[in-house]
Amino acid sequence: MYALFLVVFSNLLGFGIIIPLLPYYAENFGANPNEVTLLMASYSLMQLIFSPILGKISDIYGRKKVLLFCLIGSAVSYLLLYAATNFALVLFARSIAGLFGSTTAIANAYVTETTTSENRSKGMGLVGAAFGLGLVFGPVIGGFFGGGDINNIDYQTPFIFAFIVATISCLLTFFILVEPKDRNRQFVSMNFINSFKDLLGLFKTPAILFLTTVFFLVTFSFAGFETTFALWTERAMGWASKQTGYAFTFTALLVAIIQGMLIGKLTRKFGELKLLITSCFLMPIALFLITFSMQNLFCLSIALFILGISVGLGNPSLNSLLSKNLNKNTIGASFGVFQSVGSLARILSPLAMGNLFYFYGMNSPYKFGSYLMFFTLFLFIYYFLYLKKNIRI
């Protein structure tokens, strides 16, 4: 499990390095805000298509091999970003990154196969902490190399550094990650058409449909923050990539602390469902507070603090609940489907939020995201009235 932690951490470190830079990099090639958000949408579109495929392949051939394949693809995408000379090439590089961006689904499948239901949320939290820590240090490194001058940002050095980190992640996967010994491949079919029919049948199960709907809405709302925050801080705070990287780091550090140190204890005391509801309650508060934070660092810090707690509680709780309601023979493919649902949210959200930002003002994405999360809270009323006995918790 700790080997997986190191692999995921190093992979997300490279990912985090470029996050604060991409909006500025795109604008450097003449892209406007709604075109900038296409970078996230293209990444997610490729994930939508290929995550179930790569998840299915990992069910057949093993988690380690497919994870290594994805990491090599990520390293190539960083080189393409480094060599880009126009916005179209940047968009192509992000699409390549999305094609190989199935590490989340495979890591969750790995955790499911190497933990019991009692310590599942702790295992998910450990992986979540690796994600969080990668996003803690990544933006700091990217912002540091990018510089604090909005008119003179260094893009090349962070991309090379991200490529080096991705290469290290590949080596760690090859030499230290061990394939789960008890993975059952006896009933895994090579027939992808029949397999995808079975996977689509997941949504006929009330528990899976409910949890996936919540996952979609949470991801859609948070993706709106991710894809527009750098643009927002540029206009509202006068920040460059360095300062924005620190803000991302602040939130990611809270996520890492909660998922790495507290989520196991909190789950044993309150259970995954209560933690998920708390997460969905806190996110709209955080998003709405951002709209009051123009030139107000204290208010923005409170908003990011609440947002970090929300994400830290929500992700491992939701993944743990999902894993307890899955067929063990199609874990990788199933998590691939869920990652595709998340990818669909990350396709639609940048397109919607980017246009809201561009046409209705820079605060509109956060207001819309908060309204969606309030709607998500009402879904839990439906859960308590109709579904409570149908979901394993």
Q: Read off the pLDDT of residues 212-262 as tens digits, 9 standing for 90 and up.
A: 899 999 999 998 998 889 889 989 998 876 788 788 878 888 888 898 889
> Which tens digit of pLDDT belongs to each residue from 103-128?
777 887 888 788 777 777 777 777 77
Instruction: Select from 288, 317, 299 the least CA-distant residue to 121.
Output: 317
SS3 letters for the chain? Answer: CHHHHHHHHHHHHHHHHHCCCHHHHHHHCCCCHHHHCHHHHHHHHHHHHHHHHHHHHHHHHCHHHHHHHHHHHHHHHHHHHHHCCCHHHHHHHHHHHHHCCCHHHHHHHHHHHHCCCCCHHHHHHHHHHHHHHHHHHHHHHHHHHHCCCCCCCCCHHHHHHHHHHHHHHHHHHHHHCCCCCCCCCCCCCCCHHHHHHHHHHHHHCHHHHHHHHHHHHHHHHHHHHHHHHHHHHHHHCCCCHHHHHHHHHHHHHHHHHHHHHHHHHHHHHHCHHHHHHHHHHHHHHHHHHHCCCCCCHHHHHHHHHHHHHHHHHHHHHHHHHHHCCCCHHHHHHHHHHHHHHHHHHHHHHHHHHHHHHHHHCCCHHHHHHHHHHHHHHHHHHHHHHHHHHHCCC
For the chain, domain boundaries: 2-179+191-390
Q: How many Cα atoms within 13 Å fall on the side-chain side of residue 210?
A: 23
Task: Give the integer Cα–Cα distance in Å for 17 and 272.
Answer: 31
Whole-angstrom Cα distance, residue 128 to residue 107? 10
- Topology of the domain covering 2-179+191-390: Growth Hormone; Chain: A; (1.20.1250)
Tokens describing residue 322: 């999902």
What is the Cα–Cα distance from 273 to 283, expressed in whole angstroms? 16
CA 202 to chain centre: 22
Mark 245-283 as b/e (b = at least 16 C-beta within 10 Å).
Answer: bbbbbbbbbbbbbbbbeebbebbeeebbbebbbbbbbbb
The model scores a pTM over 0.85 = no
Q: Is there a contact between 51 and 42 (Cβ–Cβ < 8 Å)? A: no
From the list 219, 237, 251, the residue with the least C-alpha distance to 346 is 219
Q: Which residues of 118-128 are buried (b: 16+ CB within 10 A; e: fewer)?
A: ebbbbbbbbbb
Per-residue confidence in pLDDT tens, the chain, 393 aa: 667 877 777 777 777 777 777 877 888 888 887 777 777 778 778 877 887 788 878 888 888 888 899 889 989 999 998 999 899 999 999 899 888 877 777 887 888 788 777 777 777 777 777 776 776 777 778 877 877 666 777 888 888 988 888 888 888 888 888 887 755 454 444 444 455 555 566 667 777 888 889 999 999 999 899 888 988 998 999 887 678 878 887 888 888 889 888 988 999 899 998 999 999 999 999 999 999 999 899 999 999 999 999 999 998 899 888 888 776 666 766 777 777 788 788 788 888 998 899 889 999 999 999 999 999 998 888 777 766 656 665
